Amino acid sequence: MFGLQCSHNNDKAVYLSGPKVCYRKQIVYGEAAQLQFDTLRTEYAELNTLADRKCDVAIVDEVDSMLIDDSSKIARSASSMSGMDQLQIIYHLLWHQLVSLQEKIIRLDNKMYLFYGKIKFEEKAC
């Protein structure tokens, strides 16, 4: 009637890269999580999933279902890998080194200096 075309983004095929066909239509409908995934793929992975489309308007139906029932459906760009917990000690060591370096850096006259050892400042009497 108005010459508008629509499609859904709930495809079951494996997505690799490039624009999805559904985003070439004027109206796209689907689940919030799938829209989040496609936005992550476009913005962070630079896969152009949204086909250079700007998402200006969203019409949301059954918000209670989206916020309560589907609250566990969160879009993530990565999943957990076995063995990653073994890196925790390395993260702690790196953090400790960064904190100790931060304590050795001082700023004088808009310049930063890294000092090793003890530093003593004396105030000049006026």
- Is residue 40 a part of any domain in this protein? yes
- Is residue 64 a part of any domain in this protein? yes
- Is residue 31 a part of any domain in this protein? yes
- Is residue 34 a part of any domain in this protein? yes
Chain centroid, CA 46 distance in Å: 12
Q: What would the pLDDT profile of 66-111 be if each residue is shown by its tens digit?
A: 677 666 666 666 666 777 778 889 999 999 999 888 888 888 899 9
- Is residue 29 a part of any domain in this protein? yes
> How far apart are alpha carbons 32 and 63 in whole angstroms?
10
pTM to 2 decimal places: 0.49
- Is residue 119 a part of any domain in this protein? no
Can you give the pLDDT at residue 74?
Answer: 66
* Domain range enclosing 61: 6-69
Q: Terminal CA-to-CA distance of the chain, rounded, Å?
A: 86
- Is residue 21 a part of any domain in this protein? yes
Q: What would the pLDDT profile of 40-57 be if each residue is shown by its tens digit?
A: 888 877 887 888 877 777
- Is residue 125 a part of any domain in this protein? no
Can you give the pLDDT at residue 21?
Answer: 81
Can you give the pLDDT at residue 95?
Answer: 92
Can you give the pLDDT at residue 76?
Answer: 63
> How far apart are alpha carbons 42 and 20 in whole angstroms?
11
> How far apart are alpha carbons 8 and 70 in whole angstroms?
18
Number of domains in the chain: 1
